[in-house]
Chains A and B, each alone.
Chain A
Amino acid sequence: MYRYDQYDQAMVDARVEEFRDQARRRLEGKLTEDQFKPLRLMNGLYLQLHAYMLRVAIPYGTLDARQMEMLSHIADKYDRGYGHFTTRQNIQYNWIKLEDAADILADLATVEMHAIQTSGNCIRNISSDHFAGAAADEVVDPRPYAELMRQWSSFHPEFTYLPRKFKIAVIASEKDRAAMRLHDIGVRIIKRDGEVGAQFYAGGGMGRTPMIAPMIRDFVPLDQFITYAEACLRVYNRYGRRDNKYKARIKILVHELGAAEYIRQVEEEFAHMLTVGVEPPREELARIAEYFAPPAFVDGPKTVDRSDPDFALWVDRNTHRHKHDAYVSAVISLKPAGGIPGDATSEQMRIVAKLAREYSFDELRVMHTQNLLLPHVRIADLHAVWTALDEAGLGAANMDTIEDIIACPGLDYCSLANARSIPLAQRISERFAETGRTEVVGELKLKISGCINACGHHHAGHIGILGVDKKGKENFQLSLGGSEAEDVSLAKITGPGFDEDGVVAAVEKVTDVYLASRTEGERFLDTYRRIGMEPFKEALYD
Chain B
Amino acid sequence: MTDNLGTSPDEVQFRFRDDEPVDHAAVTVDSCCDQTNATAVRIEPGDDARVLLPFLDRLALVEVNFPAFGDGRGYSSARILREAGYTGELRAVGAVLIDQLSHMRRCGFDSFAPDKRLDEEDAARAFATWENVYQRAADGRRTIADKRHEA
Contact = CB atoms under 8 A, between A and B. Distances in A.
Interface of A: 5, 7-8, 10-11, 14, 18, 21-22, 25, 30-31, 35, 38-39, 121, 151-152, 154-163, 234, 237-238, 242, 272, 276-281, 283-284, 287
Most buried by B among A5, A238, A284: A238
B75 to A, nearest CB: 5
Given A31-B98, A158-B103, 6 more contacts: A10-B132, A18-B129, A158-B137, A242-B45, A242-B71, A283-B148
Given A35-B69, A157-B135, A284-B149, A276 B107 contact: no
Nearest to B77: A238
B73 interface: yes
A302 B75 CA distance: 56
B147 A7 contact: yes
Nearest to A237: B76
B125 A21 contact: yes
B3 interface: no
B74 to A, nearest CB: 9
Given A22-B99, A30-B119, A14 B69 contact: no
B149 A287 contact: yes
A287 B83 CA distance: 29
B51 to A, nearest CB: 13
A103 B69 CA distance: 28
Contact of B135 (A10, A35, A156, A284): A156
B145 A25 contact: no
B91 interface: no
B76 A238 contact: yes
A39 B101 CA distance: 13
B75 A157 contact: yes
A281 B72 contact: no
Contacts of A38: 70
B143 interface: yes
Interface string B102-130: 11101100000000000100100100011
A157 B103 contact: yes
Contacts of A121: 70, 72
A7 B144 CA distance: 7
B131 A155 contact: no
B70 A151 contact: no
B55 interface: no
A39 B148 CA distance: 29
Interface in B1-52: 45, 48
A247 to B, nearest CB: 15
A160 B101 CA distance: 12
B58 interface: no
Interface of B: 45, 48, 69-73, 75-76, 79, 83, 97-100, 102-104, 106-107, 119, 122, 125, 129-137, 143-149
A11 to B, nearest CB: 7
Given A21-B125, A272-B83, A278 B135 contact: yes
Nearest to B134: A151
Contact of B106 (A157, A161, A234, A272): A157
A151 B134 CA distance: 6
B73 A280 contact: no
18 contacts: A5-B148, A7-B144, A7-B147, A11-B130, A11-B132, A14-B131, A21-B122, A25-B98, A121-B70, A151-B134, A152-B135, A157-B103, A157-B104, A157-B106, A158-B75, A159-B72, A279-B136, A284-B145
Nearest to A17: B129
A161 B71 contact: yes
Contacts of B76: 158, 234, 237-238
**The 5 nearest A-B residue pairs measured at CB:** A161-B72, A157-B106, A280-B145, A157-B103, A284-B145
A152 B144 CA distance: 10
B122 A14 contact: no
A276 B134 contact: no
A10 B132 CA distance: 8
A39 B73 contact: no
Nearest to A273: B83
Most buried by A among B69, B97, B144: B144
A39 B135 contact: no
Nearest to A37: B70
Contact of B134 (A35, A155, A272): A155
Most buried by B among A162, A242, A277: A242
A276 B83 contact: yes
Contact of B122 (A30, A162, A278): A30
Contacts of B79: 158
A154 B79 CA distance: 18
A156 B102 CA distance: 11
B73 A238 contact: yes
A31 B122 CA distance: 12
A7 B122 CA distance: 24
B137 to A, nearest CB: 5
Contacts of B104: 157
Contact of B130 (A22, A35, A155, A237): A155
B19 to A, nearest CB: 24
